[in-house]
Structure 1
């Protein structure tokens, strides 16, 4: 986690220095040495963060050191963002007050052009940077006390190795899964000789029971009778071809080979399995490196037809890499099976009277596990040593992420998956804890929030951030961090959500929350979903309002650090003009404030804004200065029925990628042709709207033969009724869908 935050700060420094050099902007003098120092020290710290975070998981003093590092890195990012905003403001407002075109104004801004405010801003930023240097000095000094190892990887001993044995009496609820997999394994692969041996993968999140299911299948009588050789190998991490080959030889031959080189070991494997029908279980595979797998796979082809390889992994990417012909996504246990599993552990050795008294509480605790067997076992073990009803109720009333037993026994299993992520993906994952449990997360919005937080930028290059965000999301989804994915929305399993909350607790993301604000410290962290907490907190980066809850009047002046602000359906009649104070804001969602008929002009001073949702309001106009939002990429004005025109300055939004806009007059859309990121064939279609089309009824429209005329087709399908509204859904990377499969107005 700290690595991700440090990386963001380093990227910000590199970007802003590059910008100053490229555009010859002189805004802050005398801090070059301090910025250079911050860069070099953060790079040195980042080299030891693998070891620091591994040890910090258990050592409280290192946790405290990481907290200070993260807070300082956040503050560095904030100050550099403030610096960047000052440059941006000078460019935009300077060009607005000048006859010189905007694109040429930025080439050189001499010191004499600065007014009093610019000089004060420059001095303030320089002072903050020097203060951050002093804080980082102390952190670096403390670092040397811990003797961190540079580039320390996750230790192999941290992984628990599985075996093929199990106690069937302790298993609940996997009979149907077992029978399904047994059928897949014993079925004859007629006409599929080229797939021999066929690979079948069990995929699911940590603790869902993949290894247990593989053990059940491995020990099933039908499987035993069907395969002459059965081999169980716990692969774990790292994928060691020599160790795996040795294990296969040892199991088949019954003795350990006196070989250490891969080549003779593979030859030995080939000789032992040649012509034999085998089942090889490869449990807990992590590697995505095909070259490692290919070496072993080639010698397994000599088994008899019908041989199978059963893989368990947390990642669908791994399953695909291994050429799985079938991927079996393992689901959750039912509430009943989860309860039976917990009861087996929790009630061990108790009297029938005690069991009857505690049964209802135990069932409710089991429901908190949301079908995750490992959680049921861990909480069952915890309850086994609780003697009173009050102690059991305390467990029921606690969040799982607050329980010490979960920290020791449950979360380490999830931590293994987390540690496999890149720093950026760790940050993207932990951010999802801001959403309440069981929330259907809009993937498109989530990616835009990641973008607003700066997680998707790389070395100052914007690139296609949305595609990068989609890639990160898919990586997380394929590693089982998300469930119930349907292409547009997803959910997090409750235990995975608890783990994300736990990470944010131990990694101290409640930055600058006063000790007196315990509720904010518990709920808020660095993001909050309760606006009433904002007045108690100095620094928040995200805020999500609750539906129908009008935020406090001091919302926009109590903190200026928001990157993400979602105030949907909270009863706003008007936005305070001093919203312009939120200079860091990138994402603003005001959807569903149906009493709001206008937005203040000062919203157009949020020069960093990238995403703006104004859906389902009653706006009559958009401020003419909207063209100043030069970084705006996504603008949603859908279902503003009184809004019939866009200002001409909409053409200045050259970075705009996505626009949703309802308009009653078709001729009002022509000025969109100047938006450079709209697909050419789409903008062309806007120029050839048939005259009088808006007067046609729905049957008339359906009767018109469209053929291959995509301009007519793309427009006609958007007109739903007489005097109906036109919805433009413009997508940079999905032009075909935007034209041929438009969404109808609701």
Structure 2
């Protein structure tokens, strides 16, 4: 079974190759080098192969020769992509040289020489490679005729949909465990009448992963005695994969009127169904719905609008998107069973009893089997059923050492249940899901990290709907999450995991192309790596040896090498010697992804620059001090992850050559002093964690001018080093609409070299875009704030932090920022009074503010309200007021809302009437 289903991604892969061959840049260069006829031939062969893949994917299950053909095609497809990548690099090299001024040609040619040693030699070699690859494609294409592969539309699954097992409304309630509360919830929703929904069909979506028990819960509610007595008509329809409005309407009509047989016209069906529903209170269940088409859903629901108030429709689905289309009330998410309930279900299936009292020798191994089920009823039921009448402990123990996917389909319903979800995925999602087989069980991963990996592997192809591959990757991730292939980690809601059974599914469909090296490698318990493996991960250990990486040396075309976990902190990192690393990198020249996160490595070998295909390089949490200059030869690099590299002091001078770089993560790199020159060349950057203005103004803010695609967080540090006010204007922050969180920071040394007017003018020029959500200004040395902070032009700003601006004598007019929720002011040691200027001159200032903090305000004495303001008009939403270490402050204003919670400390002169406020925190 392993790897068979994984071939379904081939159609996506082949289509990608066709797109590469037909790209205008490549085609233009191909004509110049007179190889366009070979490329055209290559494209035609790939197109013909793509047409027979659907038939091949079905026949591989019964014909081993077809399976072998698909395996060979898959390997060849990888080789084709490598050759096309080579050709694309050479084509771009040529276009860049042509685009440069004459005086810059020599420098650029030097930069690219490490990628393509010699144009004449390379072009000759490239023509030879393209001809060779085309001949190999022709040969494998000719074999399809011998295998009798047909050109057919649709996938093999379309021919198998009719075999999907149908569900009915019947259920043996005594065989169901742990769903009492869920049943009560659904029954309550069925019996409750909401008059506001009388104009709509009242829908209750039950959402959950395959095998969680959605159908069983719907059956329990459908057959509840009280529910039966409340509805005039009841009908159950198993929709499954075929959302045919006519077919579903006819099935419903036959359920409520058994005499209906010969009507097939949708209009007549809906008219008759409307007559049957008219004035009647009905309950309808649509089981296993996948369709997200709003128009088809609305058409189906037309006759139901004639039903009496209180009519209900239950929909079971694995897809949140379906629930979004159908819901008139919140979706009901179904979760895993408790371990005890899962155990009862398992023993009932295996032993026809709820416990192990009569079979104590099976108790320990049985409980371990149930723990592996992770609360999934379908898993417990299938495994228990398979062990029915098996009272040998050895038979039970064998289950623990075997994988569910190796079991015959006729003995386990787990595989069909999960495969149904997998088969329904589009090929591009199958490819992304199979990639996750590199993650071991219970591995917690970050969404953005995974999207960057997918992008580096070339899985994210641009569409009209999503111009940015990152946006497309996010959509892919959300699609898989909505189908329960991913779920939130129970330990950290911002991270994700795969259910153990989903992880097994990923392993099953991935085949030998993917490989994970776990901790068992030393004892030879791990299956050996295949020479055909392209993507691999391994568990990082405290000290790595040469022997561990020997298997990777024989995999000449490896594309992925990832040390797990990918974001482990420095204090728990491992060690790998420079020799082991150098030997390894010399063998894996086709890498697209390399992650050495968390290792105590102090530098990289120069051989890193030979990885010309590399798109993703992760060294986060490592002990690296500097990167070799050869990194600047990684022309294809899209993501460079250096976060938490606390010893990193410099970035390579030639980093501006990485013109394809989209993400530069340098969070928590405390020793990094400045950015290298030519950072402004990185015009594709989406992520730039921080920009450091170095001493002597070697790199001005003007380097930010053309980085229009920056988004997310940006910290601009070292602003005290800005010598030219025009640099602030040239930074052009106002045009960078993607930046949501911005920090501007000067030095905390307020010596004589600081010029108040100069710093104010610089800040005046650094006006951000109005899309900004969070702004932090730190250690600013001006006596006042710029005009743009007084202008209510930040409609979605929610957080503002002003700290250690020690020369400012007053606070800016902030009351006009209508969306501001959190305001934190700290270390403003020259502010003596907060007066009406602070409120911005409007009647109801700070309309959204929820948290207000003042800290370390050494000279602050008075806090005044605006004139003629009533209680509740000032800070109407304020919930928490924090004042710490403001030793001269004498009193709070009387106009504060009484419901505010106070947290006050180190304010010895502050007096107030405590009875006015809802609650007090620490007050001293």
Further displaced range: 432-441 or 596-605: 432-441
Q: Is the CA contact 1:170–1:344 (under 8 Å) kept in the aligned structure 2?
A: yes
Distance 1:256 1:60, change over 3 A: farther
The answer to whether structure 1 residue 166 and structure 2 residue 171 are counterparts is: yes
| Count of residues paired in the alignment | 716
Partner in structure 1 of residue 561 of structure 2: 543
**How far did 1:418 drift?**
2.1
Match of 1:370 among 374, 383, 390: 374
**How far did 1:599 drift?**
0.3
Q: Give distance in 2, aligned partners of 1:599 and 1:159.
A: 56
Superposed counterparts of 1:173-212, under 5 Å: 173-195=178-200, 197-212=201-216
**How far did 1:350 drift?**
13
Distance 1:194 1:555, change over 3 A: same
Q: Give distance in 2, aligned partners of 1:509 and 1:65.
A: 19
Q: Is the CA contact 2:779–2:803 (under 8 Å) kept in the aligned structure 1?
A: no
Q: Is the CA contact 2:8–2:430 (under 8 Å) kept in the aligned structure 1?
A: no
Partner in structure 2 of residue 128 of structure 1: 129
Partner in structure 2 of residue 673 of structure 1: 705
Structure 1 regions of 5+ residues with no counterpart?
724-735
Partner in structure 1 of residue 632 of structure 2: 604
Q: Give distance in 1, aligned partners of 2:81 and 2:41.
A: 15
Q: Give distance in 2, aligned partners of 1:460 and 1:300.
A: 37
**How far did 1:256 drift?**
3.4
Instruction: Give CA deviations for 1:460-479 in whole Å, capped at 9, x if unaligned.
Output: 99931111111221222222
**How far did 1:590 drift?**
0.2
Distance 1:571 1:92, change over 3 A: farther
The answer to whether structure 1 residue 619 and structure 2 residue 659 are counterparts is: no
The answer to whether structure 1 residue 359 and structure 2 residue 385 are counterparts is: no
Instruction: Give CA deviations for 1:61-92 in whole Å, capped at 9, x if unaligned.
Output: 43332222211111111111122223344556
**How far did 1:146 drift?**
4.0
Match of 2:616 among 559, 581, 587: 587
SS of residue matched to 1:48: helix
Superposed counterparts of 1:173-322, under 5 Å: 173-195=178-200, 197-322=201-326
Give the TM-score taking structure 1 as reference length.
Answer: 0.85
Superposed counterparts of 1:652-667, under 5 Å: 652-661=681-690, 663=692
Structure 2 regions of 5+ residues with no counterpart?
1-5, 517-523, 540-547, 565-572, 712-731, 752-776, 807-817, 827-924
The answer to whether structure 1 residue 347 and structure 2 residue 351 are counterparts is: yes
Q: Give distance in 2, aligned partners of 1:381 and 1:352.
A: 16
Further displaced range: 275-284 or 44-53: 44-53
**How far did 1:688 drift?**
12
Distance 1:410 1:472, change over 3 A: same
Partner in structure 2 of residue 11 of structure 1: 16
Q: Give distance in 2, aligned partners of 1:407 and 1:129.
A: 49
**How far did 1:628 drift?**
0.9
Partner in structure 2 of residue 633 of structure 1: 662
Superposed counterparts of 1:88-127, under 5 Å: 88-89=92-93, 99-100=103-104, 117-127=118-128
Q: Give distance in 1, aligned partners of 2:298 and 2:822.
A: 42
Match of 2:587 among 530, 535, 558: 558
SS of residue matched to 2:236: strand
Rg bigger for which structure? 2
Instruction: Give CA deviations for 1:214-252 in whole Å, capped at 9, x if unaligned.
Output: 111111112112212111111122112222222122211
Partner in structure 2 of residue 151 of structure 1: 153
Q: Give distance in 2, aligned partners of 1:199 and 1:461.
A: 30
Distance 1:134 1:354, change over 3 A: farther
SS of residue matched to 2:287: strand
Further displaced range: 493-502 or 346-355: 346-355
**How far did 1:396 drift?**
0.6
Q: Give distance in 2, aligned partners of 1:581 and 1:698.
A: 42
SS of residue matched to 1:326: coil
**How far did 1:7 drift?**
3.4
**How far did 1:525 drift?**
6.5
**How far did 1:177 drift?**
1.0
**How far did 1:534 drift?**
2.1
Q: Give distance in 1, aligned partners of 2:799 and 2:238.
A: 59
Distance 1:386 1:142, change over 3 A: farther
**How far did 1:708 drift?**
4.5
Distance 1:57 1:168, change over 3 A: farther
Partner in structure 2 of residue 732 of structure 1: none
Distance 1:244 1:17, change over 3 A: closer
Distance 1:301 1:175, change over 3 A: same
Q: Give distance in 1, aligned partners of 2:465 and 2:87.
A: 18
Q: Is the CA contact 1:204–1:329 (under 8 Å) kept in the aligned structure 2?
A: yes
Distance 1:434 1:159, change over 3 A: same
RMSD: 4.2
Instruction: Give CA deviations for 1:421-441 in whole Å, capped at 9, x if unaligned.
Output: 222121112212222222222
Q: Give distance in 2, aligned partners of 1:363 and 1:493.
A: 18
Instruction: Give CA deviations for 1:188-220 in whole Å, capped at 9, x if unaligned.
Output: 11333222x201101111111111111111111
**How far did 1:716 drift?**
10
**How far did 1:403 drift?**
4.4
Distance 1:739 1:682, change over 3 A: farther
Q: Give distance in 1, aligned partners of 2:820 and 2:163.
A: 49
**How far did 1:352 drift?**
7.0
Instruction: Give CA deviations for 1:13-59 in whole Å, capped at 9, x if unaligned.
Output: 533553446754767544x3433233222222222323332443565
SS of residue matched to 2:23: helix
Instruction: Give CA deviations for 1:151-192 in whole Å, capped at 9, x if unaligned.
Output: 144233231110000111221111111111111111011333
Partner in structure 1 of residue 545 of structure 2: none
Q: Give distance in 1, aligned partners of 2:411 and 2:457.
A: 28
**How far did 1:322 drift?**
2.2
Q: Is the CA contact 1:565–1:588 (under 8 Å) kept in the aligned structure 2?
A: yes
Partner in structure 1 of residue 421 of structure 2: 417
Q: Is the CA contact 1:15–1:460 (under 8 Å) kept in the aligned structure 2?
A: no
